[in-house]
Amino acid sequence: MATQNNPTPAPRPAEAQFTKAYTASPAAPAPVADAAPVDDFISAYALWATRFEMPCEVNEALATQVVASLLNSSRVSIEGPGYEVTLDLWLSVFADSGLGKGIATGELRRVIDAAGIGDLIENNTWGSKEAFYQQLSGREVEWVDGDEPGRGRWEACYNDQAKFYIWGEFASVLTKFTSPAFSGVKEALTDMYDNTHPPAKIEYSQTGGTPAIDFPHPPRTNILALSTPEWFHGNLEDADARSGFLSWWTYVTVPGVAAPVAVADKLDISQIPPVRPRSSTYP
């Protein structure tokens, strides 16, 4: 007997537009040349991504971060009489384990890659605070050809693109920032937030061999950090509240609690059914 599948309901207009624009393969995302334009990316993305586990409000916040990062990379700011506000945005999403934080950010990355702006996200981490400062300064080293074939030199150049970080576990970054190797980083990052003036040049001892770090432009930062509430609060320090570090963050809490997972404290062998001995003869 032939079976008849239920037809898939037609998506709503905004969802249809975004679904058409997002047709790249997850294995090899690429821009779609004939994608239909979306008048309101934030609302369209929030509607489209609601099919996953995160509620619409959280997806709306994630899309807002993408737009802010793009504008920040172009040095767009909001100016008024006597003030200038950058689009630095530090967004923290709190959700219990199992509520889909990884899925939400994974789909966000796929959309960014499909739009051909994958380099918007800063994927390099830092092994030292000097490396972190250098990354924020935008300092890069590139090869410059010389007058003769095969001759050239490495030269430093500066890229003023905003840094968009996605921290899969906010608490682990807080732990790194509180280690002696990263002393002063959290305070420096706090001072850079929404600051329209470049930081002072960082000089190191001449005997150490570490080159000075210059900041030709004020660093612009956008951060999307995820964590469980328990792990986040367990890694805070009193100084985080007094220094203003926590004040710069926008917090989004995902409602709901993940279904509990049964874990046995001790294996009870008596509950394992006996295994019938295998016969040495076969019919």
> 77-127, pLDDT tens digit by residue?
999 898 899 999 999 998 877 767 888 888 899 889 988 888 899 988 888
Q: How confident is the model at residue 182 (pLDDT cuts 50, 70, 90)?
A: very high
> 137-161, pLDDT tens digit by residue?
887 766 667 777 767 666 666 777 7
**DSSP letter for each residue of 197-252:** SPPPPB---TTTTPPPB--SS---EEEEEEE-HHHHHHT--HHHHHTTTGGGEEEE
> 226-247, pLDDT tens digit by residue?
988 888 888 888 888 788 888 8
For position 282, what pLDDT does the model report?
Answer: 43
Its pTM stands at 0.71
- Residue 171 per-residue DSSP state: H
Angstrom CA distances, 61 to 54, 126, 186, 207, stand at 11, 27, 24, 47
**DSSP letter for each residue of 64-127:** HHHHHHHHHHTT--EEETTEEE---EEEEEE--TTSSHHHHHHHHHHHHHHTT-GGGB-----S
**Is it true that domain 13-145+152-255 has CATH number 2.170.240?**
no
Angle between helices 41-49 and 101-114 (to 10 degrees): 130
